[in-house]
Amino acid sequence: MPEQSQSVPETRTAAAAALPAGGISRRALLGTAGATGLVLGAAGAGVGYAAAPAQATPLSSVGSDRAMFHGKHQPGITEGLQARGHLVAFDLAAGAGRTEAAALLRRWSTTAGRLMAGEPMTQDDTDVARDAGPSALTITFGFGNSFFSRTGLEKQRPSALDPLPDFSSDHLDKSRSNGDLWVQIGADDALVAFHALRAIQKDAGSAAKVRWQMNGFNRTPGATAHPMTARNLMGQLDGTRNPKPTESDFDQRIFVPSSGEPGWMANGSYAVVRRIRMLLDDWEKLSLTAQENVIGRKKSNGAPLSGGTETTAMDLEKARADGEYVVPINAHARITRPDQNGGAAILRRPFSYHDGIDADGTPDAGLLFVCWQADPLRGFVPLQRKLDRGDALSQYIRHEASGLFAVPGGAAAGEYVGQRLLEG
């Protein structure tokens, strides 16, 4: 769980607003007022969706926030953390190949574009998200290593998609790892996210079947007095050193250049997905001081143990009177610093998860770790290898599932995601 790259801090706040009764379409709630969030008419709403009254209460900012489907990059990479998420992998059905995959990505892209705009599906909409706006919905698509042999596109498989090496902390369940296709869904409303999940599953039809699905959550935007770095289920501020889009080398670290190889991955990125169980019972037995020494930061405000605030540079050479380093030599934050790893950096955008209680009373909870980089061999892999060699946090976590996916650049208007690969 490299700490240098979890979450882009929350930037949205939620204003309390009552929604009108009587069944209003998602499109009507969105209206045509753009950033104002005002609800205007409902002309053109999908069949079965009620028209909005002449005067309607505006959506709160949580409901009206909208991400764009078409663009240079796919959505769901640089946006802030979302309150609800679903990660789902599909395998192509027996006999399905390149033609069926292209038709599926075309369907998925059409559905994603509509739902992210706050519109219903073109047909057979379930009405689950009927009363909601877009709620910052993002839907992201990627290809696993096995996709290319299934579709006869082996020559287009990127070398960066080679299987990840084994790590000492791995206890991987192969049935919940990898997959031909991967979809990430995020939203600031649970029903909007679930609605998108069902739509994507229904669109798969006979072309693909679900291999595995994982459900996660984060704090709702606006739940804190001011935007701040998110906390994980260990109670730690997590993601203090996440790369920021304003940094001059951000695109170089996170996205494949437009001149990169293979050409169809231009402006895309690689997603490493890990289901990391947190051994919370063991962690919570530690004293506050012991927890802070494991991480290398104050639990209260995320400041390094060497002093300052959350954003203060960590002083790795500062020592106590007894000669020991103030930030322990095996502290998670020390090990994962980019300047201690040849500049290796990843953009973390995870979800927490809780999947119930095991028979022995142990919580099945932790992190759905998702990180983005231009090349996993220069991002995730060297960081995880370093953590393998002595991270104090490793005895309190367990990696239980894993996947690596090539996520192509965004689709231009009129295109579908992956079109340059599948029709190139």
Residue 236 and residue 246: Cα distance in Å, rounded? Answer: 25
| Least confident among 87-96, 123-132, 275-284 | 123-132
44, 150: one domain: no
Residue type, 44: G
pLDDT attached to residue 122: 82
Between 390 and 60, where is the model more confident? 390
Mean predicted lDDT score pLDDT of the chain: 88
Cα separations in angstroms, 130 against 46, 109, 417: 10, 20, 26
Active site residues: 238
Residue 114 and residue 27: Cα distance in Å, rounded? Answer: 10
Label residue 54 by pLDDT band (50, 70, 90).
very low
pLDDT attached to residue 266: 97
Per-residue pLDDT at 402 exceeds 90: yes
Cα separations in angstroms, 391 against 162, 311, 328, 394: 25, 22, 10, 6
How many C-alpha atoms does 83 have within 13 Å on its Cβ side? Answer: 22
Q: Which helix (H) or strand (E) holds 105?
A: helix 98-116
Between 123 and 73, where is the model more confident? 73
295, 172: one domain: yes
Per-residue pLDDT at 328 exceeds 60: yes
Q: Which residues of 180-201 are buried (b: 16+ CB within 10 A; e: fewer)?
A: bbbbbbbbbbbebbbbbbebbb
What mean pLDDT comes out for the span 189-215?
A: 97
pLDDT attached to residue 25: 47
Per-residue pLDDT at 43 exceeds 70: no
pLDDT attached to residue 3: 56
Q: Kindly report the number of other CB atoms within 10 A of residue 341's CB atom.
A: 19
3-state secondary structure (DSSP) of residue 166:
coil
**What would the pLDDT profile of 339-386 be if each residue is shown by its tens digit?**
776 778 899 999 999 999 999 999 999 999 999 999 999 999 999 999
3-state secondary structure (DSSP) of residue 396:
helix
Label residue 221 by pLDDT band (50, 70, 90).
confident
**Token code pair at residue 414:** 């009129």
**What would the pLDDT profile of 249-277 be if each residue is shown by its tens digit?**
999 999 999 998 999 999 999 999 999 99
Per-residue pLDDT at 32 exceeds 70: no
Residue 104 and residue 102: Cα distance in Å, rounded? Answer: 5
Share of the chain above pLDDT 70, in %: 86
Residue 241 and residue 90: Cα distance in Å, rounded? Answer: 32
319, 292: one domain: yes
Quote the domain boundaries for residue 45. Answer: 17-59
40, 101: one domain: no
128, 248: one domain: yes
What mean pLDDT comes out for the span 28-47?
A: 36
| φ and ψ of 66, to 5 deg | -135, 130
Q: In terms of C-beta density within 10 A (0-12 exposed, 13-18 middle, 19 or more buried), how is residue 23 classed?
A: middle
32, 113: one domain: no
Cα separations in angstroms, 230 against 70, 109, 125, 190, 318: 28, 30, 34, 18, 27
| DSSP letter for each residue of 243-290 | --TTSTTHHHHHS--TT-SSGGGTT-EEEEEEEEEE-HHHHHTS-HHH
Per-residue pLDDT at 150 exceeds 60: yes
Residue 322 and residue 8: Cα distance in Å, rounded? Answer: 37
231, 303: one domain: yes
Residue type, 92: L
Share of the chain above pLDDT 90, in %: 77
Place of tokens 């997603």: 271
Between 85 and 49, where is the model more confident? 85
Residue 23 and residue 206: Cα distance in Å, rounded? Answer: 33
10, 26: one domain: no
318, 273: one domain: yes
50, 79: one domain: no
Query: Count of domains in the chain?
Result: 2
Total residues found in the chain within this entry: 424
| Least confident among 8-22, 170-184, 233-247, 322-336 | 8-22
51, 158: one domain: no
Four-residue CA torsion sign, 188, 227, 12, 276: negative
Bridging pattern class, strands 397-407 and 269-278: antiparallel
281, 145: one domain: yes
Between 227 and 144, where is the model more confident? 144
**What would the pLDDT profile of 285-325 be if each residue is shown by its tens digit?**
999 999 999 999 999 999 999 999 999 999 999 999 999 99
Residue 54 and residue 40: Cα distance in Å, rounded? Answer: 7
**Token code pair at residue 3:** 């700490």
Instruction: With CA atoms as reference, report the closest residue to 277 among 169, 186, 361, 383.
Output: 169
pLDDT attached to residue 338: 73
Would the pTM count as exceeding 0.75?
yes
3-state secondary structure (DSSP) of residue 100:
helix
**Which residues have a Cβ under 8 Å from the Cβ of 33 and sit 6 or more positions away?**
39, 40
Per-residue pLDDT at 5 exceeds 70: no
pLDDT attached to residue 260: 84
pLDDT attached to residue 124: 86
Label residue 2 by pLDDT band (50, 70, 90).
low
Per-residue pLDDT at 50 exceeds 60: no
**Token code pair at residue 330:** 């095996």
Per-residue pLDDT at 83 exceeds 90: yes
**What would the pLDDT profile of 158-184 be if each residue is shown by its tens digit?**
999 999 999 988 999 999 999 999 999
Place of tokens 């994980």: 232
